[in-house]
């Protein structure tokens, strides 16, 4: 038997071997769905002789795709895995746009607008209407994103509008898309939508991609949205080279347009679909699984699953009540220190999961105080830092002179004494001629609209940017980028504006780090076509997806949101802030969306392999005020016999009796060692 099958159970084997026709693996957490994908890739390459370049696997996060690449590399001999595509949906979309920009009528050097850029653009459009508060801005941004994910184009949005308010948003949507086109830019949602449109409208392009991607595998399928699903359908066509794996109980991105019903749709769209269920969990102890199953049973179910495991009964789940949030973080830090010794574990065996990024701050302080190394996935993104945004805007403008957002950000950073009236004149001139602001700077006609001195400064800037662009396209792009940063004396500018020299130095280090990353991408590229433009586009996209998931460095406790923990596993897991209003989150309570919060809790619980500890704080600061909290309703949904509670006014007096004996048990364990 093939080595790729030896370690699999019969159902998993069936899923790997099933290659004639589409296949859906629907199974609970830790049952080896992702493992099926990696094994299947290896099987396709080594046993079926399918060249790796014809196989594409789609994962939900960059971290997951990195891990998958590594795992496949470990399974497949030599260089046979070269050319394999393992990426997120957005990266796949970016690749398609990059290669098909001509067919799309786009320039090669398009910009990708992240959420902040998109908001800035919307703000500008809405300001013209004099209609702006930030709530409304959020609402409009969300609505547009939802429309895009549901494949609703502006004309459709307009015709379906049920109220004047909606009609107005549809109109902003139309102008927003128009502006993106003018800027030669795509937003995040367009990375999926654009290929979908392309494939629907140009069958010969679709055919080309169908020849390229002969087998498609999708992980975390329950979290795909409508446009992602359509992309899958288009690529696969009726050849059936498709394996998708998912778990409806782990659908946690409905708020971002995910459609768990895509799982049921598959059966309709692919009548020959084979459904395979996995029931053995290889990750967690029976107790952890029982707790997870018990909790999720409170949600209605379309597909029944019965997970079991042979990983031993394990320890009871601990629920710890802490006096306040400060005590909670302190307690978690202390637990990690003592557990690490007691269990002879590494720091990296521990993960702390929370509902919102803001909960990390206090944990960080306590971990630092106790000198516990940790790494945080999420929080402020590297690319959200002002210095990185500045330098990236230079790069963006260099690769795409139509990018007005980038132009506006850097025209006076550092100061060039180009005043608001000059900028207004440029904007006006550009608008009338339907050209970008940067290109307007190079037009002769602009001279009539401003004083000589201003014009001179504008011309110098314009010339310099063009020159930098040329340098970057030369033999030594990274050297050219360094030159750019030095030319503008960015370091001096940072020093002028920073509160302390140390701050400026740190910022400058970030800038060098950015240039190093570009260098690394250029060097690692296995396709030689990769230009500086592509490297920058890749880098931006990587960051957008990675803000929640930085690289792991060594032996560190892992901190992350519950959302970011999907697909991962850790020996010892802490879930903090198990309180009403936090988990379930207040907005979900208000919107009566408890089921998704329950799934999120299920995701958290099922990350744990050996131990799970939940904490909650009886008091917590909210909007500067200390309030009494109530423990999460989900704690009442756990099986009593598997839970031990601790702390004053325990959430569940019934199980406290068990606590004494459990403590005695663990003491005895320690003595035995």
- Catalytic entry in 12, 13, 34, 331: 34
User: What is the gyration radius of the CA atoms in the chain, in angstroms?
Assistant: 27
Instruction: Select from Mg ion, ligand ATP, none the partner in contact with residue 222, using the beta carbon and a kind-dependent cut-off of 5 to 8 Å.
Output: none
Q: How far apart are CA 476 and CA 457, in angstroms?
A: 28
Residues 599-628 that bind ligand ATP (CB under 6 A): 606
Using the contact rule CB under 6 A, the part of the chain among 29-37, 94-102, 108-116, 183-191 near ligand ATP is 29-37
Binding ligand ATP (rule: CB under 6 A), the pick from 30, 314, 378, 604 is: 30
Whichever of 11 and 462 has its CB closer to ligand ATP, that residue is 11
Question: CB count, 10 Å around CB of 274?
Answer: 16
What does the per-residue mask of binding to ligand ATP show for 557-596, with x meaning CB under 6 A?
Answer: ----------x-x---------------------------
Whichever of 11 and 33 has its CB closer to Mg ion, that residue is 33
31 scored as a contact of ligand ATP (CB under 6 A): yes
DSSP state, 514?
Answer: H
Q: For residues 193, 199, 201 and 202, what is the CA-based torsion angle, rounded to 10 degrees?
A: 140
Binding ligand ATP (rule: CB under 6 A), the pick from 4, 22, 23, 32 is: 32
Q: How far apart are CA 71 and CA 75, in angstroms?
A: 6
Contact 149, 93 (CB under 8 A): no
Which residue(s) pair with 281 in the sheet? Answer: 309
Q: How far is the CB of 15 from Mg ion (least distance, A)?
A: 13
Q: Residue 364: which residues within 8 A CB-CB, separation 6 or more? A: 374, 376, 559
Q: How far is CA 399 from CA 105, 110, 470, in A?
A: 17, 8, 10
Q: How far is the CB of 219 from ligand ATP (least distance, A)?
A: 7
Q: Give the residue from 270, 154, 156 showing the smallest Cα distance to 218.
A: 270
Concerning whether 609 is annotated as a catalytic residue, the answer is no
Concerning whether 607 is annotated as a catalytic residue, the answer is yes
33 scored as a contact of ligand ATP (CB under 6 A): yes
Phi, psi (degrees; rounded to nearest 5) at 83: 90, -10
Q: How far is the CB of 567 from Mg ion (least distance, A)?
A: 4
Q: How far is the CB of 283 from ligand ATP (least distance, A)?
A: 4
Whichever of 12 and 194 has its CB closer to ligand ATP, that residue is 12
Annotated binding residue at 32? yes
Q: How far is the CB of 476 from ligand ATP (least distance, A)?
A: 43
Whichever of 12 and 149 has its CB closer to ligand ATP, that residue is 12
Residues 264-303 that bind ligand ATP (CB under 6 A): 282-283
Whichever of 33 and 507 has its CB closer to Mg ion, that residue is 33
- Catalytic entry in 11, 13, 33, 69: 33
Whichever of 109 and 262 has its CB closer to ligand ATP, that residue is 262
Q: How far is the CB of 173 from Mg ion (least distance, A)?
A: 35
Q: How far is CA 139 from CA 132, 381, 599, in A?
A: 11, 23, 25
Helix (H, G, I), strand (E, B), or coil: what is residue 451?
coil
Using the contact rule CB under 5 A, the part of the chain among 30-38, 111-119, 288-296, 411-419 near Mg ion is 30-38
Contact 603, 566 (CB under 8 A): yes
Contact 507, 498 (CB under 8 A): yes
Whichever of 280 and 556 has its CB closer to ligand ATP, that residue is 280
Whichever of 37 and 157 has its CB closer to Mg ion, that residue is 37
Annotated binding residue at 306? no
Contact 166, 140 (CB under 8 A): no
Q: How far is the CB of 29 from Mg ion (least distance, A)?
A: 8
Q: How far apart are CA 289 and CA 313, in angstroms?
A: 10
Q: How far apart are CA 648 and CA 651, in angstroms?
A: 9
- Catalytic entry in 187, 190, 220, 546: 220
CA 464, distance to chain mean position in Å, is 36
Q: Where are the beta strands (DSSP E) in 445-514?
A: none
Q: How far is the CB of 3 from ligand ATP (least distance, A)?
A: 13
Helix (H, G, I), strand (E, B), or coil: what is residue 325?
helix
Please provide the DSSP assignment of 173-203 as one string.
HHHHHHHHHHTTEEETTHHHHHHHHHHHH-H
Q: How far is the CB of 606 from ligand ATP (least distance, A)?
A: 6
Phi, psi (degrees; rounded to nearest 5) at 517: -65, -40
Instruction: Give me the residue whose beta carbon is nearest to Mg ion.
Output: 34
- Catalytic entry in 38, 250, 359, 413: 250
Binding Mg ion (rule: CB under 5 A), the pick from 8, 26, 31, 34 is: 34
Q: Give the residue from 584, 599, 575, 568 showing the smallest Cα distance to 632.
A: 584
348 scored as a contact of Mg ion (CB under 5 A): no
- Catalytic entry in 355, 547, 566, 607: 607
Q: Residue 265: which residues within 8 A CB-CB, separation 6 or more? A: 229, 259
Binding Mg ion (rule: CB under 5 A), the pick from 257, 567, 577, 604 is: 567
Annotated binding residue at 79? no
Concerning whether 34 is annotated as a catalytic residue, the answer is yes
Contact 461, 441 (CB under 8 A): yes
Using the contact rule CB under 5 A, the part of the chain among 354-362, 559-567, 577-585, 658-666 near Mg ion is 559-567
Strands 350-354 and 557-561: parallel
Binding ligand ATP (rule: CB under 6 A), the pick from 4, 16, 34, 631 is: 34
Contact 573, 612 (CB under 8 A): yes
Residues contacting ligand ATP: total by CB under 6 A: 18
Which helix (H) or strand (E) segment holds residue 558: the answer is strand 557-561
Q: How far is the CB of 30 from ligand ATP (least distance, A)?
A: 4
Q: How far apart are CA 441 and CA 450, in angstroms?
A: 11
- Catalytic entry in 190, 219, 549, 581: 219
Annotated binding residue at 27? yes
Annotated binding residue at 57? no
Contact 287, 606 (CB under 8 A): no
Instruction: Select from Mg ion, ligand ATP, none the partner in contact with residue 329, using the beta carbon and a kind-dependent cut-off of 5 to 8 Å.
Output: none
Annotated binding residue at 211? no
Using the contact rule CB under 6 A, the part of the chain among 5-13, 166-174, 306-314, 546-554 near ligand ATP is 5-13
Long-range contacts for 337-341 (Cβ within 8 Å, ≥24 apart)?
337/370, 337/372, 339/572, 339/611
Residues contacting Mg ion: total by CB under 5 A: 3
Q: How far apart are CA 287 and CA 640, in angstroms?
A: 11
Whichever of 230 and 562 has its CB closer to Mg ion, that residue is 562
Residues lying near Mg ion in the complex (CB under 5 A) are found at 33-34, 567
Could you give the residue numbers annotated as active site?
A: 33-34, 219-220, 250, 607
Residues that constitute the known binding site for ATP: 27-34, 283
Residues lying near ligand ATP in the complex (CB under 6 A) are found at 7-9, 12, 29-35, 247, 250, 282-283, 567, 569, 606
Residues that constitute the known binding site: 27-34, 283
């Amino acid at each position: 038997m093939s080595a790729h099958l030896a370690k699999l159970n019969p159902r998993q084997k069936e899923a790997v071997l099933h290659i004639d026709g589409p296949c859906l693996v629907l199974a609970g957490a830790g049952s080896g769905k992702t493992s099926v994908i990696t094994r299947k890739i290896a099987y396709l390459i080594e046993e079926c002789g399918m060249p790796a370049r014809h196989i594409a696997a789609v994962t939900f996060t960059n971290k997951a795709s990195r891990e998958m690449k590594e795992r496949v590399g470990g399974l497949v001999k030599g260089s046979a895995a070269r050319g394999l595509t393992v990426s997120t949906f957005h990266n796949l979309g970016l690749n398609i746009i990059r290669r098909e920009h001509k067919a799309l009528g786009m320039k090669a050097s398009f910009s990708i607008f992240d959420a902040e850029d998109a908001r800035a653009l919307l703000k500008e459009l809405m300001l013209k209407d004099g209609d702006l508060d930030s709530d409304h801005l959020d609402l409009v941004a969300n609505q547009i994103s939802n429309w895009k994910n549901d494949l609703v184009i502006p004309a459709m949005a307009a015709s379906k509008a049920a109220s004047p308010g909606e009609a107005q948003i549809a109109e902003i949507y139309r102008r927003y898309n128009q502006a993106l086109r003018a800027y030669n830019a795509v937003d995040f949602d367009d990375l999926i939508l654009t290929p979908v449109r392309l494939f629907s409208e140009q069958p010969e392009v679709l055919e080309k991609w169908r020849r390229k991607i002969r087998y498609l595998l999708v992980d975390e399928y329950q979290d795909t949205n409508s446009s992602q699903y359509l992309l899958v359908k288009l690529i696969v066509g009726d050849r059936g080279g498709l394996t998708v794996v998912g778990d409806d109980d782990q659908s946690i991105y409905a708020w971002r347009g995910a459609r768990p019903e895509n799982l049921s749709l598959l059966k309709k769209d692919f009548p020959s679909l084979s459904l395979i269920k996995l029931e053995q969990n290889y990750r967690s102890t029976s107790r952890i699984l029982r707790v997870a199953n018990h909790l999720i049973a409170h949600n209605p179910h379309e597909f029944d699953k019965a997970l079991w495991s042979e990983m031993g009964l394990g320890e009871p789940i601990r629920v710890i009540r802490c006096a306040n949030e400060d005590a909670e973080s302190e307690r978690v830090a202390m637990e990690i220190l003592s557990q690490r010794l007691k269990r002879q574990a590494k720091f990296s065996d521990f993960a702390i999961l929370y509902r919102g990024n803001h909960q990390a701050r206090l944990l960080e302080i306590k971990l630092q105080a106790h000198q516990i190394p940790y790494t945080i996935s999420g929080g402020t993104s590297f690319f959200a830092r002002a210095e990185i945004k500045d330098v990236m805007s230079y790069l963006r403008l260099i690769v795409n002179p139509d990018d007005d957002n980038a132009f506006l950000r850097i025209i006076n950073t550092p100061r060039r004494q180009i005043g608001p009236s000059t900028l207004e004149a440029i904007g006006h001139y550009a608008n009338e001629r339907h050209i970008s602001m940067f290109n307007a700077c190079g037009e002769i006609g602009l001279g009539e609209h401003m004083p000589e001195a201003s014009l001179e400064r504008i011309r110098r800037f314009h010339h310099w940017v063009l020159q930098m662009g040329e340098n970057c396209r030369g033999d030594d792009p990274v050297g050219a980028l360094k030159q750019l940063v030095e030319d503008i004396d960015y370091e001096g500018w940072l020093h002028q504006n920073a509160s302390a020299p140390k701050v400026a130095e740190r910022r400058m280090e970030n800038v060098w780090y950015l240039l190093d990353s570009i260098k690394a991408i250029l060097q690692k590229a296995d396709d030689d076509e990769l230009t500086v433009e592509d490297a920058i586009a890749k880098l931006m996209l990587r960051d957008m997806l990675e803000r929640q998931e930085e690289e792991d460095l060594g032996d560190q406790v892992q901190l992350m949101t519950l959302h970011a923990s999907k697909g991962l596993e850790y020996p010892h897991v802490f879930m903090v802030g198990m309180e009403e209003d936090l988990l379930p989150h207040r907005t979900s309570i208000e919107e009566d969306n408890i089921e998704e919060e329950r799934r999120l809790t299920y995701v958290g619980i099922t990350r744990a392999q050996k131990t799970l500890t939940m904490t909650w704080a009886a008091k917590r600061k909210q909007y500067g005020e200390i309030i009494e909290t109530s423990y999460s309703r989900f704690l009442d949904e756990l099986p009593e016999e598997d839970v031990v509670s601790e702390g004053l006014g325990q959430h569940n007096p019934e199980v406290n009796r068990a606590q004494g004996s459990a403590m005695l048990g663990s003491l005895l364990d320690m003595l035995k060692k």
